[in-house]
Amino acid sequence: MNSTLDHDYYEKARKRTKQKKRLYFHFVLFLIGSVFFVMLNKVIKFHPELDWYVWAIFAWLILLILHFINVFVMSRFFGKEWERIQTEKLIQKHKGKVEKLESKLQKSGALDDLDSNSLNS
């Protein structure tokens, strides 16, 4: 049991480390790309009449912020533990509905009829 628990902790830590690594790589790529956009517009004079690099960098920054939120905020609130709790709630809700339906069927005698028909077959 302890071995599997350690393995689960290791897998969670490894997955989390990969998420952070991808975010940091995205950030470095954003910095390099931003410099490239500025140089392309101002130094190489690609459509110099427009300051299009500002909009490109801003759009990319929004994507980077969304990536940051996904790694540091959403995974904390909607991670594996949240999934487990929601699944257990749905299972309990389903079991409750099945029990209510079975009790209604037993009260009406329909369940007894079904049981006797299946025994006769």
Name the DSSP letter for residue 24: H
Apex CA 40: angle with CA 21 and CA 42, to 5°? 125
pLDDT at 25: 97
- Give SS3 for 78: coil
Same domain, 21 and 70: yes
User: What Å distances lie between residue 50 and 27, 47, 58, CA to CA?
Assistant: 25, 6, 15
Give the model's confidence band at 106: pLDDT under 50 very low, under 70 low, under 90 confident, else very high.
confident
Q: What is the mean pLDDT of residues 61-84?
A: 86
The total number of structural domains in the chain stands at: 2
CB atoms within 10 A of CB 11: 10
Same domain, 121 and 65: no
Single pTM value for the model: 0.63
Same domain, 90 and 74: no
pLDDT at 97: 92
pLDDT at 77: 74
Same domain, 64 and 85: no
Q: What percent of the chain stands above pLDDT 90?
A: 46
Same domain, 69 and 84: no
pLDDT at 112: 67
Same domain, 36 and 94: no
Give the domain extent around 72.
1-78
Note the pLDDT tens digit of each residue in 14-68: 988 999 999 999 999 999 999 999 999 999 888 888 889 999 999 999 999 999 9
- C-alpha to C-alpha distance for 11 and 23, rounded to whole angstroms: 18
The torsion angle over the Cα atoms of residues 104, 109, 111 and 117, rounded to 10 degrees, is -160
pLDDT at 121: 54
- C-alpha to C-alpha distance for 117 and 5, rounded to whole angstroms: 48
Same domain, 100 and 65: no
pLDDT at 118: 58
* DSSP conformation letters of 55-76: HHHHHHHHHHHHHHHIIIIIHH
